[in-house]
Amino acid sequence: MPPITLLEAIRQGISEEMERDSRVFVLGEDVGIYGGAFKLTEGFIEKFGAERVIDTPISESAIVGAACGAAMMGMRPVAEMQFIDFISCCFDVLTNYAAKSRYRQGVGIPIVVRGPCGGGVHGGPFHSQNVEAFFLNTPGLKMVEPSTPYDAKGLIKAAIRDDDPVLFFEHKLLYRNPKIKQEVPEEDYIVPIGKAAIRREGRDITVVTYGAMVYTAMEAAERLEEEGIEMEVIDLRTLQPFDREAVIESVKKTSKVIILHEATRTGGMAGEITAVINEEAFEYLDGPVMRVTAIDTPVPYAPPLEEFFLPQVADVLKAARALARY
């Protein structure tokens, strides 16, 4: 098998699940004849037919609402948000319905709502966001964001098989990035939801991150190695529920932590992870938990502004050097 892109990995994962389980179907804006705005479901309508690859109007509430109703009847819908930013249009269905159904009435909603997230492509304020923090405060939803093709395929399959609603974020900058192409196994496999991966081991500083920022962290780690600082890079892969054990274990080893994410700062994942570290590993800390995140503004369009807005390798290096001296 030749190495594949992250986009191809997700495509294969969904396709294999549709072959494996007739209850799985996809729906969304332009997912059929057009093949998806990012061409992720290209060829699906020919392969699976219009009944299982459903083109919808631009109606996010009805797309996700219909997915919920169908899931309640035993189906396994995979709904696409053309850009993950548009998920705000179906906030009610996700937070008030999908997230609470099992708790309230004992009937689970096994849906996957997936779509491209993230900036760096000059998409401006409405096509570049990372939306995890909108949903972090809603118990009942799971959230996943892969950084590698192997994980992307294994996680989308796990998400489709999961009995809970899963929001699946795909960084659009990684979709076709040739540098991260990977060979994936031919045989069926999943990557379990809730488990982080250690991308690089190190004893001095832990970086907890996910999505495209994994590569920012890795680049920073290589530079720091030249300075004699060993950085451990943890890729969360699942944001909710995140792998506390992996984070705490690493903190106990390094005693210094940076949390790095592309989403804006206030009320984000980093704050939550910091709180958990404070509660569970405070005595192990040899310095303040540091956040490297986007700045608290909408995502700017102008390239120099967007570059300033997004966390860069230099920002990680700065935080790491400060922590190393601490």
92, containing H or E segment: helix 91-92
Is residue 127 annotated as a catalytic residue, yes or no? yes
Q: Which of 312, 314, 266, 322 is nearest to 290 (CA)?
A: 322
Least Cβ distance, residue 77 to another protein (angstroms): 8
Structure-token pair, residue 232: 């451990």
Counting Cα atoms < 13 Å in the Cβ hemisphere of 145 gives 29
Among 35, 69, 267, 287, binds another protein (CB under 8 A): 69
* C-alpha torsion angle, residues 31, 36, 41, 45 (rounded to 10): 40
Q: Does 137 bind another protein (CB under 8 A)?
A: no
Q: Does 33 bind another protein (CB under 8 A)?
A: no
> How does 192-231 read in b/e, with b if 16+ C-beta sit within 10 Å?
ebbbbbebbebebbbbbbbbbbbbbbbebbeebeeeebeb
Interface stretch with another protein, choices 70-78, 119-127, 129-137, 167-175 (CB under 8 A): 70-78
Among 16, 30, 75, 267, binds another protein (CB under 8 A): 75
Q: Strand 53-55 relative to strand 112-117: parallel, antiparallel, unpaired? A: unpaired
Least Cβ distance, residue 99 to another protein (angstroms): 9
Q: Does 286 bind another protein (CB under 8 A)?
A: no
Contacts with another protein, 205-244, as mask; x by CB under 8 A: ------------------------------------x--x
Least Cβ distance, residue 270 to another protein (angstroms): 18
Q: Does 322 bind another protein (CB under 8 A)?
A: no
- CA–CA separation, 219 and 233 (whole Å): 10
Structure-token pair, residue 221: 């780690």
Contacts with another protein, 85-114, as mask; x by CB under 8 A: -------xx--xx----xxxxxxx------
Q: Does 163 bind another protein (CB under 8 A)?
A: yes
Least Cβ distance, residue 52 to another protein (angstroms): 8
User: Which residue number, 92 or 307, has a Cβ lying nearer to another protein?
Assistant: 92
- CA–CA separation, 99 and 113 (whole Å): 12
- On whether the CB atoms of residues 39 and 30 are closer than 8 A, the answer is no
Catalytic residue list:
127
Residues of this chain that interact with another protein (CB under 8 A) are 25, 51, 54, 56-57, 59, 61-62, 64-75, 92-93, 96-97, 102-108, 139-140, 142, 162-164, 241, 244-245
